[in-house]
Amino acid sequence: MKRAGTVSDLASLALLTLVYFAAARLGLQVAYLNPSATPVWPPTGIALAALLVLGYRASPAIWLGAFLANFATTGALVSSTGIAVGNTVEALAGAWLVNRFAGGRHAVERSADIFKFAVLAGGVSTSISATLGVLSLSADGLVHPGTHGAVWLTWWLGDLVGALIVAPLVLLWSADWRLRFSPVRAGEAMALLLAVLAGGLVMFGGFLPPFPLTFLSLPLLLWPAFRFGPREAVSVAALLGVIAVAGTLRGVGSFSGGSPNQSLLLLQSFMGVSTLTALAVAGEVAERKRLEARLSHLADYDSLTDVLSRRRFQEQLEQQLADTRRYGTPAALLFVDMDDFKSVNDRFGHAAGDKVLASVAALLRGRLRDSDSLGRIGGDEFVVLLPHADRQQAEAVAAQLLKTIATQPTVLGEKEIRTAASIGIALLCDHGQTLEEVLAHADDAMFAAKAAGHNTFRVYDPERASSASRS
């Protein structure tokens, strides 16, 4: 197993080197100001994402890919080594800063961390590569006098945009590559894709006079940000970026007109800002949706035990009562109350008591059918709805639940907290026609179980006076 893992790791690192090398060679094809300085540099994003996903152990693969790409371009050993060191240190610094201050590989999923990611990974760490790169080129005499500042700016901006577009693209798709679209959502995604292609060609394809049409990218970026999520938003930004670069290199589109390097610098600045905006909006929308889902979940489920809340359970009980009255299908309600639970809180504290309740809820849930419902209606009171269960089946379930609670203690550190419960059973319609009646009669049966000695169950008996008192 260890050997297989080692081989897999080596294969991953080799693939990373190959991908980095290929992306670097592609980016250097548009290096106009200097053979090693390009305004389009995807490898920065690839390296940063690789370190955030694979860890710092991937850094040798980044160094090798950067060295081979630059050596193939200039043939200069010193500058290629220095540039590779700069690219690797840039990725290591960016990954460390993002891990330390911006939420790690999940930074581009949260609006609060996206701008931190942009500043730390896009602005700060990329200055390392630009600085070491220019110094390395100078050491080999590969920078023309008077162009050091322009080369540095081109280098830095190319790395910055690579970090802002490519890194989020890789991180988001590696986190979840599946397309879970409904037919309607798949149709909307196809419409979005066609709109992006059409809009990209209008803005950057040269089919219209060179009007300043870049504002058309805003709705194309906001559409996926609001309707889909960060992954789709950055994908649209990347696709627009590819179309824009292709058009600009052909001398058409909104950013053509100056020198190729200046045109690409302007385009990359625009794409970097646009991508950052789209990611921030998508992250904010995603957080709002998560909050809404969380609030909806809290409305239906108990926050401590994650079983049905009192309100939601009562809704299901009302529905089951209606079905039982209409179709005559049997159903039972179990009222579960922990025995002497106050002593648990007194001996171990309320925090431990909460953990015990959560543990008991998990035990109960594990012993029930998928069709059964489990809810919490009080401090240490649980209720179980058993559809299609007669008296005999309800008694069998109650006995099983009691045995499970009594024999499986809650482990807290080195302590084992043992508990027990009493259960009252009421049969729907037989023991009440309304929700209030069924709950009250199951409660009465539970008191009878406690009066009988705890750790047992009783079925509601309408002829028996409910004289049990709470423990």
The enclosing domain of 413 has a CATH number of 3.30.70.270
Asked if residue 293 and residue 171 are part of one domain, the reply reads yes
47 located within any domain: yes
Q: What are 84-117's pLDDT values in tens digits?
A: 999 999 999 999 999 999 999 999 988 889 999 9
pLDDT at 256: 83
Asked if residue 386 and residue 265 are part of one domain, the reply reads no
Share of residues in the chain with pLDDT > 70 (%): 96
Least confident of 222-231, 251-260, 367-376, 381-390: 251-260
Asked if residue 154 and residue 44 are part of one domain, the reply reads yes
Asked if residue 346 and residue 291 are part of one domain, the reply reads no
- How far apart CA 391 and CA 379 sit, in angstroms, is 27
Work out the end-to-end distance of the chain between its first and last CA atoms, rounded to an integer number of angstroms: 56
pLDDT at 355: 94
252 located within any domain: no
Asked if residue 272 and residue 124 are part of one domain, the reply reads yes
Per-residue pLDDT, averaged over 172-178, amounts to 92
Asked if residue 380 and residue 269 are part of one domain, the reply reads no
Q: How many domains does the chain have?
A: 2
- How far apart CA 286 and CA 299 sit, in angstroms, is 20
pLDDT at 330: 92
Residue with tokens 């179709």: 327
- Tokens standing for 111? 């609006």
471 located within any domain: no
271 located within any domain: yes
SS3 218: helix
pLDDT at 210: 67
pLDDT range class, residue 9, cuts 50, 70, 90: confident
Mean pLDDT of the chain: 91
CA 72 to chain centre: 39
Judge whether 70 and 23 are in contact, CB under 8 Å: no
Asked if residue 224 and residue 290 are part of one domain, the reply reads yes
How many helices (DSSP H) and strands (DSSP E) are in the chain? 16, 7
- Tokens standing for 138? 């100078």
Nearest alpha carbon to residue 86 among 24, 13, 5: 24
pLDDT at 2: 47
- Beta strands (DSSP E) in 266-377 are 331-338, 373-376
pLDDT at 61: 96
Q: What are 336-395's pLDDT values in tens digits?
A: 999 989 999 888 899 999 999 999 999 999 999 999 999 999 889 999 999 999 999 999
231 located within any domain: yes
Asked if residue 286 and residue 358 are part of one domain, the reply reads no
Q: Residue 315 is part of which domain span?
A: 310-459
- Tokens standing for 298? 């809290």
pLDDT at 214: 87
Q: What are 309-331's pLDDT values in tens digits?
A: 999 999 999 999 999 999 988 99
Asked if residue 221 and residue 365 are part of one domain, the reply reads no
Residue 470 in this model has a pLDDT that exceeds 70: no
123 located within any domain: yes
- How far apart CA 98 and CA 32 sit, in angstroms, is 32
Burial class (CB in 10 A: 0-12, 13-18, 19+), 202: middle
Judge whether 258 and 82 are in contact, CB under 8 Å: no
pLDDT at 468: 41
CB crowding 269-288: b at 16 or more within 10 Å, else e = ebbbebbbbbbbbbbbbbee
Asked if residue 60 and residue 112 are part of one domain, the reply reads yes
- How far apart CA 13 and CA 68 sit, in angstroms, is 15
425 located within any domain: yes
- How far apart CA 244 and CA 241 sit, in angstroms, is 5
Share of residues in the chain with pLDDT > 90 (%): 77
Residue 3 in this model has a pLDDT that exceeds 60: no
The overall longest dimension of the chain from CA atoms, in Å, is 105
Asked if residue 12 and residue 72 are part of one domain, the reply reads yes
Asked if residue 197 and residue 61 are part of one domain, the reply reads yes
Per-residue pLDDT, averaged over 293-307, amounts to 90
